[in-house]
Amino acid sequence: MLLQISNLCKQIKHGLDRLILPFDTACTKTHRNKQNASSNTRLTWVRTSVSNLVRYKPSGTYFARVRIRGKLFLHSMKTDVMSVARLRLSDFIKEKQEEMGDDSAARSGKMTVGDALFIFRQRLDGQQDIKEGAKVYRRKCIEALLNSWPALEARPVGKVSKDDCLAWASRFASHYSPSVYNNTVGTLRMILDMAVERGARANNPARFITKRRIVQRELVLPSPEQFEAFVSEVQHAGAWCSKECADLVHFLAFGGFRKTEAANILWSDCDFDNGRIRVRVTKNGKPRSVPMIPDMKALLQRLKASRPDAQPTDSVMEVRECQKAMDRAAKVIGMHRITHHDLRHLFATRCIEAGVDIPTVSRWLGHKDGGALAMKVYGHLRDQHSVEMAQKVTFSKPKTDNETTVATLITVSKSKRVH
């Protein structure tokens, strides 16, 4: 029995000796490979006298190797000149620091909505893919948000709850239109997204706020007779600028311009020879040309004759807005209140009623959607026009005047026989 145990121990020891040798060999090879890799790395990348700047030896190109907010960046300076690389390194570090931002408040748990708002405003100002008008509107939404929720800016983002957001939304919705409400809700969401991005919150409580359905406002526009009485009342109101206000009303209605567009039209933009007005300052930043309808041409010729000293660089309109004058005139004659923008709708409506197709009217208005918006707003006018035109379509042979007279006499004669 003891002999068997002794033989078994010898076999086990022999087996272990056979395993230890390959293991030691493998460990030695791994250690050598690591040493070779480390040696190759040291030979490939060379430190420089400038902190955070290394040189890639095979090509001689300099690289920035810098850690910002715990993240390591390795970025080519795209040069093999030390002085150039040094300048680019400082720009790169500054750019990345601004991009990463100062999240000390978020990391400490003390980030307020005002901190998130500061970041959002910085990004809004730096965005180049949106128009300046959109930025101005977004800033107005911020102002409306803070006015309706005064304690919001100083509140820690972690203490803004779902119930807080829903309670604010309920109050805000009762005082503002659906479009303003929806845009302000979107602004609140984007501000709180800054806190989520920085790790100050796990989620955005404003995501629970639902947006309101926007119902297209019914256009109530004056008839031709009402419009003339309306303009006459504006002109004879007795104010120092009553006549100029009446001219602006006509100008907006005859050209379909936005208020800002009309204010920036100069006499040099009026081409009387070709019957066109060039609109340089537009909502989408792209100039357009609007044809002069007969009423517009007569208006401009009258204004030109009354200002013989007018220069090409002078504005055609002498006032920029006249809403108070229009409100008074509408009230006096008993007409529904209209705005400057309603005069643009009036222009489009009269054009469509005169038979101008919607895509053409859309181009005159400066829309870039091929007529989709105009179809949505003015499509009912086209339907009415179609019904009226359909009444003129007939498959019977048109009767002459004599045939009509004879048919009428026969009908009358038959009627007398019956009686």
- Between 196 and 384, residue with greater pLDDT: 196
The residue that leads in pLDDT, 62 or 133, is: 62
Are 230 and 152 in the same domain? no
What is the share, in percent, of the chain residues with pLDDT greater than 90?
Answer: 53
Please say if the pLDDT value at position 257 is more than 70.
Answer: yes
Check whether 385 has a pLDDT greater than 70: no
Tell me whether residue 264 is exposed, middle or buried, using C-beta atoms within 10 angstroms of its C-beta: 0 to 12, 13 to 18, 19 or more.
middle
| Token pair recorded at residue 167 | 């309670």
How confident is the model over 166-174, as a mean pLDDT? 95
- Among 155, 179, 208, give the residue marking a domain's end: 208
Q: Which of 61-70, 99-108, 115-124, 267-276 shows the lowest per-residue confidence on average (mean pLDDT)?
A: 99-108
More confident: 286 or 324 = 324
pLDDT digits (tens, 9 = 90+) for 328-359: 999 999 999 999 999 999 999 899 888 888 88
Q: Are residues 251 and 315 in the same domain?
A: yes
**Which CATH number covers residue 235?**
1.10.443.10
Instruction: Say if residues 376 and 367 touch (Cβ distance below 8 Å).
Output: no
In a domain, 21, yes or no: yes
Q: pLDDT class for 412, splitting at 50, 70, 90?
A: very low
Q: Are residues 296 and 343 in the same domain?
A: yes
Does 1 map to a domain?
no
Mean of pLDDT over the chain:
83
Any domain includes 262: yes
If asked whether residues 35 and 86 sit together in one domain, one would say no
296 or 107: whose pLDDT is higher?
296
Instruction: Check whether residue 239 and residue 323 sit in a common domain.
Output: yes
pLDDT of 405: 56
Is the domain of 21 the same as that of 65? no
Pair 132, 192 in one domain:
yes
pLDDT tier for residue 127 given thresholds of 50, 70 and 90: confident
pLDDT at residue 174, rounded to an integer: 92
- Residues 72 and 188 occupy one common structural domain: no
- Asked which of 304, 324, 353 is the last residue of a domain, the reply is 353
60 and 116 part of one domain: no
Last residue of a domain, one of 154, 180, 208: 208
Who wins on pLDDT, 312 or 44? 312
Q: What is the pLDDT of residues 232-256, one digit of tens each?
A: 999 999 999 999 999 999 999 999 9
What integer pLDDT is reported at residue 231 of this predicted model?
96
Predicted pLDDT at 21: 44
For the chain, the domain total comes to 4
Residue 166 has pLDDT above 50, yes or no: yes
Q: What average pLDDT score do residues 310-336 get?
A: 95
Both 231 and 349 in one domain: the answer is yes
Range from 42-46, 227-231, 241-245, 261-265 carrying the lowest mean pLDDT: 42-46
pLDDT band at 368 (very low <50, low <70, confident <90, very high): confident
> 116-125 pLDDT, tens per residue?
999 999 989 8
pLDDT value, residue 418: 47
Residue 202 belongs to a domain with what CATH number? 1.10.150.130
Q: Are residues 278 and 342 in the same domain?
A: yes
- Which residue range(s) make up the domain with 180? 108-208
Residue 311 has pLDDT above 80, yes or no: yes
Identify whether 13 is part of a domain. Answer: yes
pLDDT in tens, 263-282: 999 999 999 999 999 999 98
Report the alpha-carbon distance of residue 175 to residue 181 in Å, rounded.
9
38: pLDDT strictly greater than 90 = no
pLDDT for 47 beyond 70: yes
Residues 168 and 56 in one domain: no
